[in-house]
Structure 1
């Protein structure tokens, strides 16, 4: 069971700022990006994905002159007439933006084309093909070959995944891993006392607890009476002696919007003879909105 901790973070947009949080939305960081300046002229600067430690190369169909904002900060910049290879500043943080201006040699009719290098954590476009006019036939043929190779790789990965799924899953995996034994999985309806909204606006609608040979879990249906969406960022189970159980994992399919009801599942690996009696379950989100559910019984 996986643990999800989504955070809604807004990036601060400034030309040379150092925003905190996730980078701003940008077209998917494709491995190869192709841009035809004459076919789709735009007034705003085009955004390119870069990342510290990863090389990004821009390939032009004609000789160019380029100007790079804060070039002295870059780890590496290599120029030739039709190629610019760069490695972003090592201190470039996610969301930071640096401007790149490109002028084709002999073109005195415009101020050039602008691009914005947007820092992403561990993601970068490795090659950018920039065409002053329309793309050539050879360029389209190269793209077809690359897409075919990519699709073949994806098909191989899909086949491997399907083979693994065919070998695992369902009751056979639970039996093979000794998660369930001869006694199977026992369940008990949760009769929670948390019916009124907590300080975080959360309350329990219903739920159930489960115990198998090597693990136990509780599934609670929560209602969000607050004004903001809620998503679990952490969970804990505490026994009657005040000791917190180790290795607690949780799963929540989607955020709980205001006035909506959704399930949160909490699981912990433990032998059947352990963790007897009632436990206290606590759930909280990234902003600290929490709910404490006492006296959770397990079969």
Structure 2
């Protein structure tokens, strides 16, 4: 991929990030308190969590009509009770759910306005059920869209300049997706978020793991080594990204500019060809060098 193609990919990623899945901004609640979740267009953040408990009902009210026939709920058949209309949803989890289990819930709105859907994650918590949730959708005005277009244009100009600078620094070299992810710095425009592991094991350590999405069709993990001697000269030759159910996401082999330097400045890039799946849930990332002499395992990776 040359520099111009890379810029086109970036532009499509920016446009996608501005119009894709609606974001939910929330403040967690507990017990019998009524909690409000606001859904807004044009933002990409981690879906809010709603606590549910086996044997107790949780009701979600919507201020805009939804399409019951298009509702998607993971593990729907395992709920003790499930009821949905155009303005509310009631669920009663059964005892088959495990503590801490996470279930993605997606609803689509009826009128076709923006945002056209909302996503929340139901988390099984026997001690802390949220009994009533009120979800409010904020439609976008024409003025806000015009402002967003201007911001996107300004962002594209900055990205074009950055790509041109990268081209000049690599005259005559083929520019790949991995190189682009490794060298991009403008995370204010690129959709990028940190992934935090719950457990780290192996012979080497990572200072930072980022999930970078530049296109609806692909994303990448950017892993920055910790400044430790164990990394020096290390080159990853294999990697797996596995979800909590044991399913491996489709990834390309890890890429590096060269073996990790002593100061840990060389990032490791892993292209993910299933960005929709990787956007949600918890994952385990494993990396290894030739002969598996030195390995890295990050368990429970997810956005904070």
TM-score category by the smaller chain?
0.3 to 0.5
- Structure number with greater Rg is 1
TM-score normalised by length of structure 2: 0.36
